[in-house]
Copies of this chain bind each other. A is one copy, B any other.
Amino acid sequence: MTSDTPLPQVDFRTEPAQYQHWRLDIAGPVATLTMDVAEQGGLVPGYELKLNSYDLGVDIELYDAVQRLRFEHPEVRVVVLTSGKDKVFSAGANIRMLAAAPHPWKVNFCKFTNETRNGIEDATACSGQTYLAALNGTASGGGYELALACEHIMLVDDRSSTVSLPELPLLGVLPGTGGLTRVTDKRHVRRDLADYFATKSEGIGGKKAVAWRLVDEAVPRGQWAGIVAQRAGELAGRSARPADAAGIQLTPLAKTRTASEISYTHVRARLDRDRGVAEITVRGPDGGPDGTAPARIEQVHEQGAGFWTLAMTRELDDLILDLRTNELELGTWVLRTEGDAEQVLAFDQMLLNHRDDWLATEILLYLKRTLKRLDVTSRSLLALIEPGSCFAGSLLELALAADRSYMLAGVFEEIDPDAAPAAIEIGPASLGPLPMGNGLTRLQTRFLGDPDALATAEKRAGEPLTAEDAERLGLVTFAPDDIDWDEEVRIAVEERASFSPDALTGLEANYRFAGPETLETKIFGRLTAWQNWIFYRPNASGPDGALRRYGTGQRADFDRKRV
């Protein structure tokens, strides 16, 4: 990979039979996910993935494995993350790949890997699948950051294995996948020790790593297998996962991709390169064979990956990743829905009525994570709410995630004067189960500091709301009528395309996360911004920068001015 290497179109779909870099072994409640990266298996030519270093392709498999464990293996209660190499757990993100990658590739790569690590924490916190990092060798940089996403970190105590964050001293960049935030805010390493740690490229092992809280235990190699198995058993015992549940298959996604359209069963996107816009439409449930939402939870299990909410979420998830990675110049995403709002609400209700069912819970959690992925996507999001749409319940979240929403007051007189005017409806899905990264619902974030407006809006839950009502309640941004609609929407889209893409990214990143901060918002809001800046500066990425000079034997030549 060099800056001139044409970047491949990345496909995020995979399955265990295709894995090149990971092995997934399941023994009852304990799954072992073994990282054994194929050196020659890079996604892009030009680098070798030595020492379990990784690139986007390795992380795509990890993401797939984490997802499949949740849906296909409900019996799994603990996931042991370990290495198939002899003396190394993982050397982190591949440096040559990073050094040669264009700026957007670096940033996208970091964002996706961050989301996967957040997903690991979500599995531990919400799904009863606890991740245990069994570091059977040195974990550096992103390798240690992967361990930091696990609930319990074990490090082999052999006088040579360490954990480290060598990015700053060796590469002149920051640890890019949440390491700085998790060290202080999650593991509560004292900030001055954390400072020392992040400047010591050889890392820290053994008892000192435990004393500094960098790992939870250091285990002699002789006792390693036994104690790892023991810990796995202990963590499995904490889980409330059902022992006898049968998973569902995440069957291959049906996807068609042309130069101008990406389409799935329930989701499609028209790619308008001239205007820099992706027009995304999410279709509500078709209602299944009998025309309605399933009445019994058993039917949800039977439908499995075909159950509308899950199918739509998988498609939306894949679309977001595809557009983010492969379509950098489509800067505005226009979000529409179409279908029957009652059906959307019925599917929501089915899931919400069965929060004790592992699959219903998993589907909601996956939808939560996918909406969060939308929240942190560096594209302008405009929701258009028109007759025939179904922004109700869980799909209302799409409009609430948007930077702006336009809702037609009345109907398009020339197109369909007899249509029912658009309506939106707050359902129970908007009142708690799908929080944003800041821990608040999208409604709470929208009405931050205005509890009266929030209460007034929430009181109207369960009621279809007209454009006039929705605007008055503050649930949509603008409600133009037929006469003004085309002009207002056109201007909004054209204006967006005329602005600095960088400034829009910064603006949206600031506005989307008002209110309280969490580990997640700090990672995406603060850490990512610093990393982007550092990545872009010549001290890292210039020809004499640390990232480019790494491994050449030459030291970086820094502009020493502090900014």
Copy tally for this chain in the complex stands at 2
Using A529-B526, A533-B533 as known contacts, say yes or no to A188 and B450 having CB atoms under 8 A apart: yes
Query: Once the chains bind, are A536 and B539 in contact (CB under 8 Å)?
Result: no
- Interface segment among A240-248, A257-265, A554-562: the answer is A554-562
Query: Once the chains bind, are A168 and B504 in contact (CB under 8 Å)?
Result: yes
Nearest CB to that of A528 among chain B residues? Answer: B529
What are the residues of chain B within 8 A of A517 when measuring CB–CB? Answer: 516-517, 522
Contact of A507 among B198, B405, B496, B504 (CB under 8 A): B198
A532 at interface, CB cutoff 8 A? yes
Query: Once the chains bind, are A168 and B511 in contact (CB under 8 Å)?
Result: no
A128 at interface, CB cutoff 8 A? no
What are the residues of chain B within 8 A of A545 when measuring CB–CB? Answer: 500
Query: Once the chains bind, are B562 and A505 in contact (CB under 8 Å)?
Result: yes
Query: Once the chains bind, are B562 and A511 in contact (CB under 8 Å)?
Result: no
What are the residues of chain B within 8 A of A509 when measuring CB–CB? Answer: 526, 530
Interface flags for A97-111 (1: CB within 8 Å of B; 0: not) read 000000110011000
CA distance A9 to B404 in the complex (A): 45
Query: Once the chains bind, are B174 and A506 in contact (CB under 8 Å)?
Result: yes
What are the residues of chain B within 8 A of A379 when measuring CB–CB? Answer: 562
A525 at interface, CB cutoff 8 A? yes
A298 at interface, CB cutoff 8 A? no
CA distance A501 to B174 in the complex (A): 12
CA distance A504 to B195 in the complex (A): 10
A495 at interface, CB cutoff 8 A? yes
Report the minimal beta-carbon distance from A182 to chain B, rounded to whole angstroms.
Answer: 11
Query: Once the chains bind, are A474 and B190 in contact (CB under 8 Å)?
Result: yes
What are the residues of chain B within 8 A of A495 when measuring CB–CB? Answer: 169, 199
CA distance A450 to B515 in the complex (A): 25
Query: Once the chains bind, are B563 and A104 in contact (CB under 8 Å)?
Result: yes
Nearest CB to that of A399 among chain B residues? Answer: B192
CA distance A331 to B562 in the complex (A): 6
CA distance A510 to B183 in the complex (A): 11
Report the minimal beta-carbon distance from A10 to chain B, rounded to whole angstroms.
Answer: 15
- Interface segment among A25-33, A70-78, A300-308, A441-449: the answer is A441-449
A318 at interface, CB cutoff 8 A? no
What are the residues of chain B within 8 A of A449 when measuring CB–CB? Answer: 185, 188
| Interface residues contributed by chain A, number (CB under 8 Å) | 88
Query: Once the chains bind, are B276 and A560 in contact (CB under 8 Å)?
Result: yes
Report the minimal beta-carbon distance from A334 to chain B, rounded to whole angstroms.
Answer: 15
Using A515-B185, A533-B536 as known contacts, say yes or no to A167 and B445 having CB atoms under 8 A apart: no
What are the residues of chain B within 8 A of A529 when measuring CB–CB? Answer: 526, 529-530, 532-533
What are the residues of chain B within 8 A of A474 when measuring CB–CB? Answer: 190
Query: Once the chains bind, are A503 and B172 in contact (CB under 8 Å)?
Result: yes
A403 at interface, CB cutoff 8 A? yes
CA distance A194 to B447 in the complex (A): 12
A238 at interface, CB cutoff 8 A? no
Using A509-B530, A510-B181, A525-B526 as known contacts, say yes or no to A540 and B503 having CB atoms under 8 A apart: yes
CA distance A300 to B192 in the complex (A): 36
CA distance A290 to B563 in the complex (A): 45
CA distance A517 to B496 in the complex (A): 30
A191 at interface, CB cutoff 8 A? yes
A531 at interface, CB cutoff 8 A? yes
What are the residues of chain B within 8 A of A329 when measuring CB–CB? Answer: 560-562
A126 at interface, CB cutoff 8 A? no
Report the minimal beta-carbon distance from A75 to chain B, rounded to whole angstroms.
Answer: 33
Using A167-B503, A501-B559, A561-B501 as known contacts, say yes or no to A405 and B181 having CB atoms under 8 A apart: no
A173 at interface, CB cutoff 8 A? yes
CA distance A540 to B505 in the complex (A): 13
CA distance A191 to B558 in the complex (A): 40
What are the residues of chain B within 8 A of A185 when measuring CB–CB? Answer: 448-449, 514-515
Query: Once the chains bind, are A510 and B180 in contact (CB under 8 Å)?
Result: yes
- Most-contacted residue by chain B among A167, A379, A445, A514 (CB, 10 A): A514
For this complex, 11 residue pairs linking A to B, each with C-beta atoms less than 8 Å apart, are A169-B499, A172-B500, A190-B446, A192-B477, A195-B511, A500-B540, A501-B539, A502-B537, A516-B517, A522-B525, A536-B536
Question: Chain A interface (Cβ within 8 Å of chain B)?
Answer: 103-104, 107-108, 167-169, 171-174, 180-181, 184-185, 188, 190-196, 198-199, 276, 328-331, 378-379, 402-405, 445-450, 474, 477, 495-497, 499-512, 514-517, 522, 525-527, 529-534, 536-537, 539-540, 545-546, 556, 558-563
